[in-house]
Amino acid sequence: MNLVERVKGIILSPKTEWPVIAGEPGDAAYLFRNYVAILAAIPAVCGFIGGVLIGVPVLFALIGAVVQYVLAFVAVYIVALIVNLLAPTFSSQKNFESALKLTVYSYTPVWLAGVFRLIPALSFLGILGLYGLYLLWLGLPPLMKTPPEKTIAYTITVVICAIVVAIVLVAITAVIGLRRFA
């Protein structure tokens, strides 16, 4: 898999890219090492640079970037587990490798939109990452074998669960005192 071609494919032509992805292996180590590790660095690094540019102490910005980077891996994995666990509820095929591919590639626009963290005043453009919801919706039928009439409900349920996961992860970092760095 060529990273740039995959990103272009999933962003610009997801309807044709998802069937290609469905036919590929979904090895977790490969996906995390060759896709998540690279793309999840975008918001972390840009947030670090943007924070330092507006006066956040370097150490705090660095800790925040590292925490955000690590939590990206955790969030993707947990959401993939949820996608897989919910599959039978929506008459879909339970398959963790497919759920992981679906989750990883659906997060692509979120990570790409992280570039706007370079200039904190443009951070609101991170909302462009919501394109990932559309990618999730398109990816459910080819990857999880979701029937068309169940796709919207499955998508909404996964999005709600992903929001809960994000809130829980932020709460955990706050409890252990790391939130001020992220």
The residue extents of the domains of the chain are 3-181
CB 147 within 8 A of CB 78: no
Q: Is the pTM of this model over 0.85?
A: yes
Cβ contacts of residue 113 below 8 Å, gap of 6+? 43, 125, 126, 127, 128, 129
Tens-binned pLDDT, residue by residue, of the chain (182 aa): 799 999 999 999 999 999 999 999 889 999 999 999 999 999 999 999 999 999 889 998 898 899 999 999 999 999 999 999 999 999 999 999 999 999 999 999 999 999 999 988 888 888 898 899 999 999 999 999 999 999 999 999 999 999 999 999 888 877 766 555 55
